[in-house]
Amino acid sequence: MELQDYYDLIEHSRPKLKFCEWFDEDSNIWNFTRHSHPYIELIYYVEGKGDVEVSGTNVSFSLYDTVIYPAHKEHQDKKVPERRREIICLWIDIPELVFEEPIRLHEQDGELKNAFEMVYRESKREKPIPVLLEYAMKTLLILILREQHEALTGTQLLDCVMEYIKNHYAERITLDELAELEHISTSYLSRKFKERTGMSVITYINDLRIDWSKQYLMASALDINEISYQVGFESPKYFHRVFKKLVGESPASFRRKFKI
State pLDDT tens for residues 11-32.
999 999 999 999 998 899 999 8
Q: Measured between alpha carbons, how far is residue 54 from residues 3, 9, 48, 78, 102 in Å?
A: 25, 27, 19, 11, 8
> Strand, coil or helix: what is 82?
coil
CATH superfamily of 3-152: Regulatory protein AraC (2.60.120.280)
Residue (of 63, 45, 47) closest to 180 by Cα position: 63
The pLDDT tens digits for 116-175 are: 999 999 999 999 999 999 999 999 999 999 988 877 666 567 888 888 899 999 999 999
Residues 244/228, Cβ–Cβ less than 8 Å: no
> Strand, coil or helix: what is 190?
helix
Rounded Cα gap, residues 228 and 238, in angstroms? 9
pTM of the model: 0.63
Domain span(s) for CATH 2.60.120.280 in the chain: 3-152
User: Residue 102 pLDDT > 60, yes or no?
Assistant: yes
Assigned CATH for 157-260: 1.10.10.60
CB atoms within 10 A of CB 259: 8
Burial category of 2 from C-beta neighbours within 10 Å (exposed 0-12, middle 13-18, buried 19 and up) = exposed
